[in-house]
Amino acid sequence: MVFLGLLLIALGIVAILSAVFVSDGSAELLGMDLTALAIFLVGVGAGAALIWGFAILKYGTKRELRQRKERKQLGELSEKLDQVEAERRADGDTGTPSA
């Protein structure tokens, strides 16, 4: 998710920078002649890619942090369970009911 967000942000930035710095006053983008409508649509697409990229990046980061927190909690609980089981074995209780 994070990678996709960063990729969309990078594509949007490349489109905007190439429109600003590559063209020398003419309607040309990356070697192609563009109409006014095409330039407008490239700008809209670049802006949408930036916004979409930031949204995906935000969602992916939140999800990653939540999963990391859950893994940490599960690890702590697993360690506690292992300690309790070790204590039971040390006390001689096997956990099986006696007949």
Mean pLDDT of 9-21: 74
The whole-angstrom separation of Cα 91 and Cα 7 is 57
pLDDT of residue 83: 92
Residue 23: inside a domain, yes or no?
yes
- Higher pLDDT: 4 or 54? It is 54
Closest CA to 50 of 1, 16, 3: 16
pLDDT of residue 37: 72
Residue 40: inside a domain, yes or no?
yes
Domain ranges, residue 75: 2-88
Residue 99: inside a domain, yes or no?
no
pLDDT tens-digit readout, 26-47: 566 677 777 767 777 777 888 8
pLDDT tens-digit readout, 84-99: 999 999 887 555 565 5
Residue 28: inside a domain, yes or no?
yes
The whole-angstrom separation of Cα 27 and Cα 11 is 20
Q: How many domains does the chain have?
A: 1
3-state secondary structure of 26: coil
Residue 95: inside a domain, yes or no?
no
3-state secondary structure of 24: coil
Tokens coding 63? 């999800």
